[in-house]
């Protein structure tokens, strides 16, 4: 079933460790988000203090009145089972990536494949972070990689610390869902 944009729906923020899922939900949520973070003992993967081991949970009301439940996954592959738990029943997914991270295109493939199994076709938006930093891969490389694998998905450059940027990701996804709902209506 396509939940469309009526009433209330759920979206999932996912992507590798340190891409900014917890930060993005905290920046956007109108309620204090639920976090499940512990001390990060995998400083090789990312040098930050905490990492999500369960989920993040927040909420935003769109200008049209739709309530969006925001869920964030852990990034570490050892918590992959949570991706499937949180992906279930999601209207769409936002995949956050760090454009400066080695192997980021492989991460793109990994998360697109994991969430394409849960959300309606095309209901995925890619948010690229740190695109202005040295060593960042150009956003064209992401679009080309997606196209080569048969996906046409929006790729937006964002700063997950900025509420407006995160809102743009959610609104883009809401537009896709609305278009899909309209397409699905009998003429
Ligand atoms: N300097 C800088 N920091 C950024 C930028 N984007 C994100 N960050 C930081 O990167 C970190 C991202 O951490 P989290 O939000 O915990 O990442 P996460 O995706 O939830 O990671 P896991 O839960 O471990 O999978 C935060 O400290 C952000 O402030 C950026 O453009 N510049
Ligand atoms: Mg997190």
Distance CA(128)–CA(168), nearest Å, equals 12
pTM over 0.85: yes
pLDDT surpasses 50 at 3: no
Residue 186: which pLDDT band, with cuts at 50, 70 and 90? low
Task: Give the residue extent of every domain in the chain.
Answer: 8-179
What CATH class is the domain 8-179? alpha beta
Kindly report, residue by residue over 61-103, the tens digit of the pLDDT. 998 899 999 999 999 999 999 999 999 999 999 999 999 999 9
What whole-number distance in Å separates Cα of residue 88 and Cα of residue 35? 19
Ligand 1 centre to CA of 19 (Å) is: 5
Contacts of 46 (CB under 8 A, 6+ apart): 17, 18, 40
Strand 92-98, strand 67-72: pairing:
unpaired
| pLDDT at residue 24 tops 80 | yes
Q: Which residues line ligand 1 (CB under 6 A)?
A: 17-23, 48, 51-52, 74-75, 129-130, 159-161
């Amino acid at each position: 079933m396509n939940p469309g944009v009526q009433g209330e729906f759920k979206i999932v923020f996912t992507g590798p460790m340190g891409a900014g899922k917890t930060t993005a939900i905290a920046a956007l949520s109108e309620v204090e988000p639920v976090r499940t973070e512990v001390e990060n003992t995998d400083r090789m993967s990312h040098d930050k203090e905490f990492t999500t081991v369960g989920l993040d949970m927040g909420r935003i009301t769109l200008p049209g009145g739709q309530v969006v439940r925001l869920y964030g996954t852990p990034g570490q592959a050892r918590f992959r089972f949570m991706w499937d738990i949180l992906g279930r029943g999601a209207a769409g997914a936002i995949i956050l990536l760090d454009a400066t991270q080695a192997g980021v295109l492989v991460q793109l493939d990994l998360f697109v494949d994991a969430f394409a199994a849960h959300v309606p076709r095309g209901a995925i938006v890619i948010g690229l972070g740190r695109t202005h930093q040295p060593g960042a891969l150009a956003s064209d490389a992401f679009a080309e990689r997606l196209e080569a694998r048969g996906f046409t998905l929006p790729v937006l450059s964002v700063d997950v610390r900025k509420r407006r940027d995160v809102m743009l990701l959610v609104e883009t996804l809401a537009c896709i869902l609305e278009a899909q709902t309209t397409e699905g209506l009998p003429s």
